[in-house]
Amino acid sequence: MTGLEDQEFDFDFLFEFNQGDEGAAAAAQEHYSYAPTSIGSALPLPTAHPSLPAPCHDLQTATAGLSAMPAASHSAGYGAAMDSASAGYFLSAGSIRPDGAPALESPRIEITSYLGLHHNSSQFFHDVEVEDVIPGAKRSPSTATLSLPGLEAYRDPACLSPASSLSSRSCNSEASSYESNYSYPYTSPQTSPWQSPCVSPKTTDPEEGFPRGLGACTLLGSPRHSPSTSPRASVTEESWLGTRTSRPASPCNKRKYSLNGRQAPYSPHHSPTPSPHGSPRVSVTDDTWLGSTTQYTSSAIVAAINALTTDSSLDLGDGVPVKARKTGLEHSPSVALKVEPAGEDLGTTPPASDFPPEDFSTFQHIRKGAFCDQYLSVPQHPYQWAKPKSLTPTSYMSPSLPALDWQLPSHSGPYELRIEVQPKSHHRAHYETEGSRGAVKASAGGHPVVQLHGYLENEPLTLQLFIGTADDRLLRPHAFYQVHRITGKTVSTTSHEAVLCSTKVLEIPLLPENNMRATIDCAGILKLRNSDIELRKGETDIGRKNTRVRLVFRVHIPQPSGRTLSLQVASNPIECSQRSAQELPLVEKQSADSYPVVGGKKMVLSGHNFLQDSKVIFVEKAPDGHHVWEMEAKTDRDLCKPNSLVVEIPPFRNQRITSPVQVSFYVCNGKRKRSQHQHFTYLPANVPVIKTEPSDDYEPASACGPASQGLSPVPRPYYSQQLAAPPDPGSCLVAGFPLCPQRSTVMPTPRSASPKLHDLSAAAYTKGIASPAHCHLGLAQPAGEVAAVQDVPRPVAVHPGSPEQPPPATLQPQ
């Protein structure tokens, strides 16, 4: 992976969610005009060529805008086209639909207007009402459970990006906030209720009915239902895909049992597998792209129309192929979540059938109509899991928690969420067709351990765990891996499975009696078939060789003010592929991360799969991704061990640098057997060396373990994105963060802004907050709190998964 241009940021920000203190009018205004702003903010597009590395949010932005881009716009190249075309995607100010939603002028706009259609006044006021009825700080845990047959099959039309295959670098992960809108309340003690049914394809646990049954997967081709219920169930998509390419993208149909045993084609025109037409990972050349742009565009339009139709009518069947709908119904009796026995006595989530039709309909409204309106308070008593509650609309509460692809600090003020024991660097994930491969283990045996420090209250909290990415982009939920709940006699930790924004989240109690410490022995990793995920609308990542993940832990700490402080910490990368784990070199730790340009110092790398023939290549890249300098470092073959490698830092090409220069290096075992890039910084020759970790004292055996989390001097791999806490938690507290940042356009992104950083100027942020585009009811940002955000030095906002509207986060480039 490219690396130099991908800056590793140490940015901190804190979320505080002011729940329920919003005026209805302000919220309504925000809601109402959300869509247009969202669009606008999504428009700033990268100018770099897509083939060149670029900051992730830029790519995301590009992705968002690619969906229905006119063919002509692409001719000039990906990034350029986006820029040039962006103007066309803004809503016309004067175009208003009869229902008040802005009219649309382009497929792109049409898609986004979906929001407007459903952020209509009725829905809006309903939500406001909820907010008013239940003050956020006093809300009890929301325990809404919902069955949404067929409906979940729909995927965010805004993500309908046929160009998704163009790049594997997009941050538009399936679980990004883009899709936060497709979620519903769920029974959870403390966390967000965003549930998207489109999670893993087929649970290995038969009793786990929720995702399997969720119709979302029927349309989306979610792996859980795929391939029979792949997006291609849609005639629209069929026609679209059918003209794209004849290249098969998935080996899924290579097994007879796949055709006959598990899935039956629901259409004579359909391959039983989801990917007879070419996977998004197909390398799309300019020719193929241009040649199919028209089809993309038109299909995007049709898809968007389908979505709109389905949405506006709330008829689950509209726009959903009959077969898909049927499948969804068959499979989704409920979104009831599987609960550990310990929690089951507390009640189970009622199936959808328990809802009166009107309530069900209301929930459909909530989930689909109000993209970002799924509100859930932060429960004060997390362990009333699955406690049945009346699911009337008024009892539906807002989560107001940060989306899973938001970057959060690991510590703030007295609190620190820390991984005490890191997981092993290798854990072979299991496919749905396989049995579980057990829980993730720690390097030295046992299991990972996570602890929340500084929490002195007696109230238990919920630790959330999901599978995040481990690439050099910002952390976000991994599209191709999901956490898998492990149960059994060997599992001592109670857990609870939920789905947030298409991402499975394991919820684990953090109990004061356990010193807020949890042993993660209940979390396995499920691999989703690449072909299934890549075919999802809006999915731009590719699964191939995208096999590194991290365990991401989150905790939401209620504050006396009624707000919630969210912390997050990610584990070291875990290689999940069998083959990669066996062959690819993996650098877990390096004994130095900087040295003067003269080089010559021995650096010890620890990791896996090092060979005597392993080479260590130092690379400097230009911002455009070109290699400016590349040099092979000398390795000491005598000292080479499978898990450690001694390398001599090569002298930098320029001995006269006046400021540190960041380069990267990787270990190469062969042609395509390279490790991830690791950061290394060359210092000016006259800069005194800060001794970090003497190589003499270095013990490779210590490479694995808690120290590698970020506590040791140089544990951080290139792609690590551990966040540091702000100096003062109060300095960047942000109340009223949008639940679905991608939709909420906290601040309009200047189209001329740097592709890497979005300026969070006072004006911009204030405007964003006050903007009616804010999609979250009751989450308007008081001016004072906005100012607090601005108090953070050099504040810039960034949102990895949401190019449309970076969250009010502070970002401090490393």
For DNA, the binding residues (CB under 7 A) are 247-255, 257-258, 261, 281-283, 428, 430-439, 441, 486, 488, 524, 527, 529-531, 543-547, 577-580, 582-584, 670-673
From the CB of 141, what's the least distance to DNA, in Å?
29
From the CB of 671, what's the least distance to DNA, in Å?
5
In angstroms, the CA 76 to CA 650 distance is 40
Which C-beta is closer to DNA: that of 545 or that of 634?
545
From the CB of 280, what's the least distance to DNA, in Å?
10
With residue 309 as reference, give the H or E element that holds it. Answer: helix 286-313
From the CB of 262, what's the least distance to DNA, in Å?
8
Which C-beta is closer to DNA: that of 250 or that of 606?
250
From the CB of 225, what's the least distance to DNA, in Å?
13
Which C-beta is closer to DNA: that of 361 or that of 582?
582
From the CB of 325, what's the least distance to DNA, in Å?
24
Instruction: Name residue, tokens 């009018």.
Output: 25
Where would I find the beta strands (DSSP E) of 157-303? none
Which C-beta is closer to DNA: that of 97 or that of 254?
254
Which C-beta is closer to DNA: that of 155 or that of 447?
447
Q: Are 477 and 422 in contact (CB under 8 A)?
A: no
In angstroms, the CA 491 to CA 638 distance is 42
**What separation in angstroms does the CA of 534 have from each of 45, 69, 223, 541?**
23, 20, 10, 7
**What separation in angstroms does the CA of 798 have from each of 205, 569, 664, 762?**
38, 18, 23, 15
Instruction: Name residue, tokens 């310990």.
Output: 342
Which C-beta is closer to DNA: that of 381 or that of 544?
544
From the CB of 486, what's the least distance to DNA, in Å?
5
Using only the alpha carbons of the chain, give its radius of gyration.
Answer: 25
Chain mean position to CA 672: 27
Supply 103's token pair.
């009219």
Which C-beta is closer to DNA: that of 674 or that of 751?
674
List alpha helices for 144-213, DSSP H. 209-213
644-648 and 627-635: which strand pairing?
antiparallel
The span from the first CA to the last CA of the chain, in angstroms, equals 19
Supply 160's token pair.
């309908």
Which C-beta is closer to DNA: that of 58 or that of 521?
521
Largest CA distance in the chain: 76
Q: What is the DSSP secondary structure assignment for residue 343, as one 8-state letter?
A: H
Which C-beta is closer to DNA: that of 389 or that of 430?
430
Which C-beta is closer to DNA: that of 338 or that of 716?
338
SS (H, E, C) 45-81: CCCCCCCCCCCHHHHHHHHHHHCCCCHHHHCCCHHHH
Instruction: Name residue, tokens 């720690």.
Output: 442
From the CB of 344, what's the least distance to DNA, in Å?
17
Which C-beta is closer to DNA: that of 430 or that of 774?
430
From the CB of 261, what's the least distance to DNA, in Å?
7
564-570 and 481-485: which strand pairing?
unpaired
Question: Is residue 547 exposed (0-12), middle (13-18) or buried (19+ Cβ within 10 Å)?
Answer: buried
523-527 and 481-485: which strand pairing?
antiparallel
From the CB of 429, what's the least distance to DNA, in Å?
9
From the CB of 200, what's the least distance to DNA, in Å?
12
Closest CA to 526 of 554, 499, 566, 492: 499
